[in-house]
């Protein structure tokens, strides 16, 4: 399964968040949320532990509410496949401040490594493009990841989508808080919203 | 299309009452799956300068969208039909976990003069599905009670973070009539 020269997921996420400034980062259910945690806990991290398939739509809701803020969804191929229709919904709304990066290891790593549809048939970049997301990139080098990370800060040119081929190695689980109310209220607080 | 509104007090402007309430509660994001019963409200939303109508490919997208909207400081409401409630079940788990204000307005099928048997199973379990998922259910059965029910629903959803579904009964909307 594992192919040579594929990117390391932790390196990819570290590069995506290295110079994040005001970015709100939303993880997908599973390893991508751990990767975001491993890159460093942050008041603007949205860790997803459930609601599989919802990461991109959480990103859309947030991006529409805060159009000047860069919003970056970092999710996995399995999570993105479950919410594939959301790519069409996002393309229709054209949130210029929303970016989606899929960490594609072609497998369901959290549940035993079963092959995902991207391993043999589904092309998420093609799907995103066909849904109407013009800036949809296939990424295979760290330099391309860094260029994408820079583009995330341009809140006038999205939405953008990147499918990053990563290796399927299992890495140490770095666990974030699982308290959803805390996660949401911490982001809201950082954006200047008071508790109700 | 929606004939046979049998109640004498079923005025046609109840969607406008809903729109006015949503406006008063500063609702900004309105995800929806196209639905004949909501068509007038959807038109009002799409013509509004303060609300954004967001068509979905499936209802569960709307639950996740509203979680993100609240995180970013905006209120929203999900418009769907009873059959769409079944598409949302796992995503409804986000509501108690993230504790965001959730309001949904559901046009009912399969409960009053229904022609299509395929609408009956989900229409019959809509209220139960919501209640099992921790969402409070209010119902409007005629046009006269729509404003009060909407006011109560919006108030408890947005002020008390009490997830609420308003079922707009098929009797209110009128059973869909299929003509040859």
Chain A residue numbers with beta carbons less than 8 Å from the beta carbon of B90 are 50-52
By Cβ distance, the residue of A58, A180, A181 closest to B68 is A58
Answer yes or no: pTM beyond 0.90. Answer: yes
Residue B1 has pLDDT above 60, yes or no: no
Residue B10 has pLDDT above 80, yes or no: no
A125: Cβ contacts below 8 Å, ≥ 6 apart: A136, A137, A138, A161, A163
Rounded percentage of chain A residues whose pLDDT exceeds 70: 98
Ordered alpha helix ranges (H), chain A? 9-17, 31-38, 55-65, 77-82, 85-93, 124-131, 142-151, 180-190
B52: Cβ contacts below 8 Å, ≥ 6 apart: A64, A93, B28, B29, B30, B45
Task: Tell if the CB–CB gap between A61 and B65 is shorter than 8 Å.
Answer: yes
Q: Average pLDDT, whole number, for chain A?
A: 96
Which of A53, A54, A59 best probes binding to B when mutated, by most B CB atoms within 10 angstroms? Answer: A54
**Cα separation, B53 vs A89, whole angstroms:** 11
By Cβ distance, the residue of A55, A92, A196 closest to B55 is A92
Residue A1 has pLDDT above 80, yes or no: no
Give tens-digit pLDDT for A65-77: 999 999 999 999 9
Contact A49, A180 (CB under 8 A): yes
Q: Is 0.90 exceeded by the ipTM?
A: yes
pLDDT band at A2 (very low <50, low <70, confident <90, very high): very low
Is beta strand B75-76 parallel, antiparallel or unpaired with respect to B78-81? unpaired
Residue B167 has pLDDT above 70, yes or no: yes
Give tens-digit pLDDT for A150-187: 999 999 999 999 999 999 888 999 999 999 999 999 99
């Amino acid at each position: 399964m594992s192919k040579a020269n594929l990117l390391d997921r932790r390196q990819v996420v570290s590069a995506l968040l290295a110079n994040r400034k005001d970015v709100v980062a939303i993880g997908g259910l599973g390893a991508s949320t751990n990767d975001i945690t491993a890159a460093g806990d942050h008041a603007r991290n949205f860790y997803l532990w459930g609601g599989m398939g919802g990461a991109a739509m959480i990103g859309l809701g947030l991006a529409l509410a805060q159009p000047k803020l860069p919003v970056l969804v970092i999710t996995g191929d399995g999570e993105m496949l479950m919410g594939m229709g959301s790519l069409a919904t996002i393309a229709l709304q054209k949130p210029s401040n929303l970016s989606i990066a899929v960490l594609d290891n072609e497998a369901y790593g959290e549940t035993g490594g079963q092959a995902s549809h991207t391993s043999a048939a589904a092309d998420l970049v093609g799907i995103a493009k066909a849904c109407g997301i013009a800036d949809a990139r296939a990424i295979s080098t760290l330099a391309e990841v860094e260029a994408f990370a820079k583009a995330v800060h341009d809140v006038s040119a999205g939405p953008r989508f990147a499918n990053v081929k990563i290796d399927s190695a299992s890495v140490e689980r770095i666990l974030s808080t699982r308290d959803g109310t805390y996660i949401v209220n911490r982001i809201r607080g950082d954006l200047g919203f008071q508790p109700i | 299309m929606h004939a046979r509104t049998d109640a004498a007090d079923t005025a046609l402007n109840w969607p406008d009452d809903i729109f006015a309430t949503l406006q008063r509660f500063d609702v900004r994001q309105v995800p929806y799956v196209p639905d004949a019963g909501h068509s007038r409200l959807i038109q009002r939303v799409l013509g509004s300068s303060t609300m954004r109508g967001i068509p979905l490919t499936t209802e569960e997208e709307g639950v996740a969208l509203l979680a993100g909207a609240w995180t970013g400081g905006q209120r929203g409401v999900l418009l769907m039909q009873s059959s769409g409630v079944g598409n949302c079940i796992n995503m409804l788990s986000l509501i108690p976990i993230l504790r965001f204000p959730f309001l949904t307005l559901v046009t009912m099928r399969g409960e009053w003069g229904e022609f299509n048997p395929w609408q009956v199973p989900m229409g019959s379990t809509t209220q139960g599905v919501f209640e099992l998922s921790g969402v409070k259910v209010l119902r409007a059965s005629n046009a006269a009670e729509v404003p009060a029910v909407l006011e109560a629903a919006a108030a408890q959803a947005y002020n008390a973070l009490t997830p609420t579904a308003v079922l707009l009964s098929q009797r209110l909307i009128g059973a869909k009539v299929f003509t040859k």
